[in-house]
Structure 1
Amino acid sequence: MKTRFIWLFGLLAVFMTMTGFVQPNIEDHAHILNKETKTLIKEKNNRYLQTKEQPQITVITVKKLKNLTPKSLNRSKRTVFIVVGQKGKKRNVQIFSSKDLHGAFTADARSNILRAEVDQLRSYNNATFNKGLRFVFRACATKVDQQYQYALDKFDLSQSEQNKISHPHRVALPIALALAFLIMGIIYMLRRFGHHSSNLRK
């Protein structure tokens, strides 16, 4: 009987491991996530369960704006947390990673991901916000896939989307150059007009 119990316990442990009985990938305490976002989270994490490393990207929503650090962060491995804090209409999105992923998720990398679709993440419209959140999730998934050298799939960012993160100021550069040329043109015209006026006085 004792041997049978040990055997059943071992079989249950193997089953739990094989079926991905691990930390849940979705904790929607603030009831923000829509069906499309939840489907993306589940399907991508199910793919990760088929890999040797079995990384995770967990999305958590909470009813507060501050102190969003997940309680399980320090004891987690190969895990990225996307935490959404909500209070009233205000929302705060932050990205955390376990220590073994700090190289991929530096402060700059996390900041660039959140800035890439900042207008959507600031939207009060839940569908628009979820669209921005899916971008953040896909950006994190792309980082994880690159870290472990997985083949990119349909859930990852396209090259043009990756460029938005790699070069967040690229869009602002043409505007800055145009303004610089405009200012130079105005200065040139003012100087020319002033020089012409002085010649007329003579």
Structure 2
Amino acid sequence: MKKTKIINLFIFIFSIGVFLTSTAFIQDNLKDYANLTDQKTRQLIAEKNNRYLQTKEEPRIVVITLNRLDNLTPSRLNKTKRTAYIVVGQKDKRRELQIYSSKDLHSAFTAESRMNIIRLAGKDLRSHNKKQFNKGLRLVFRACATKIDQQYQYTLDKYDLTNAEQNKIDHPNRVALPIAFGIVILVGALIYFLKTIQNRNSKNKK
């Protein structure tokens, strides 16, 4: 009986330790000082980072929201490894999002790729509707996760971007080209139509 109580006590203490460790880990990857994230976003951050915890490299994606627009660079940026940061600054109605990475991930997070990620989610990120903003924030997070997974050659999972979303980041010009080409054709057709009408009017006057 006494032995059973000791075993149960040990299991209880162990469970508390696991809970506190996992909770601290989740909180360490999300610092929502501006209270911008919703439950769906918090769940995504926790679940993906917990998956990373099971890998050899143990990379991380940290999301930080701040009530300011200046000094968004994470204080521990130069001291961390295998870490990407998504930092959102907000003041009044203005909002800014930046992506940072530790030095060992610079090849994955080039200036161009970071710009393309933010551009892809830009419409949602600019929204002052919390649900729509979080949709954009999750897209940025998933894009960062995809970059990390590709860097370490992890198998892509449900938290990563779809092929279509990935193409919009890797080849934004390919997506924009058909649209631009269509606009050129439309403008050309309009000019031709106007010239035809103008020529007809000139003939009628004669």
Same-fold call, TM > 0.5?
yes
Q: Which runs of 5+ in 1 are unaligned?
A: 1-14
Q: Quote the offset at 1:150 in angstroms.
A: 0.4
Aligned equivalents of 1:182 and 1:128: distance in 2? 33
Equivalent pairs counted in the alignment come to 186
Q: What's the counterpart of residue 137 of structure 1?
A: 141
Query: How far is 1:24 from its partner?
Result: 1.1
One-letter identity of the residue aligned with 2:50: N
Q: Which position in structure 2 is the counterpart of 1:57?
A: 61
Structure 1 distance, partners of 2:200, 2:126, is: 52
Q: Which residue of 2 aligns with 1:127?
A: 131
In structure 1, give the amino acid aligned to 2:77: L
Asked whether the 8 Å contact 1:115–1:168 carries over to 2, the reply is: no
User: What does residue range 3-22 of structure 1 map to in structure 2 within 5 Å?
Assistant: none
Give the 3-state SS of the residue equivalent to 2:79 in structure 1: coil
37, 43, 49: which one pairs with 1:45?
A: 49
Which residue of structure 2 lines up, in the alignment, with residue 180 of structure 1?
A: 184
| SS of the residue 2:77 aligns to | coil
Q: Which amino acid aligns with 1:135?
A: L
CA–CA separation in structure 2 for the residues paired with 1:32 and 1:102: 27
Q: 2:106 — aligned with what? A: 102
- How many angstroms does 1:196 deviate by? 6.1
Residues 24 and 188 of structure 1, relative CA distance in 2, 3 Å threshold:
same
Report which stretch shifted further, 140-149 or 24-33: 24-33
Give the 3 Å change call, closer, same or farther, for CA 71–177 of structure 1 in structure 2: same
CA distance in 2, matches of 1:197, 1:127: 55
- Measured against aligned partners, the alpha-carbon deviations of 1:103-153 in whole angstroms (never above 9, x if no partner) come to 000000000000102110000001110111001000000000000000001
Match of 2:155 among 135, 151, 154: 151
In 2, distance between residues paired with 1:44 and 1:94? Answer: 20
Out of 14, 30, 35, the residue aligned to residue 31 of structure 1 is 35
Which secondary structure state, in structure 2, belongs to the residue aligned with residue 132 of structure 1? helix
- Tell me how far apart the structure 1 counterparts of residues 57 and 165 of structure 2 sit (CA, whole Å): 26
Cα distance, 1:32 vs structure 2:
1.0
TM-score, L = length of structure 2: 0.81
* RMSD across aligned positions (CA): 2.5
Q: Percent of aligned positions with the same letter in both sequences?
A: 58
> Which runs of 5 or more residues in structure 2 are unaligned?
1-16
**1:88 to 1:191, Cα distance in 2 relative to 1, 3 A:** closer
Structure 2 distance, partners of 1:149, 1:172, is 29
What does the per-residue CA deviation read over 1:33-52, in whole Å, with 9 as the maximum and x for residues that have no partner?
11111111011111111111
Question: Using a 3 Å threshold, how does the CA distance of structure 1 residues 200 and 71 change in structure 2: closer, same or farther?
Answer: same
Normalised to the residue count of structure 1, the TM-score between the two structures is 0.82
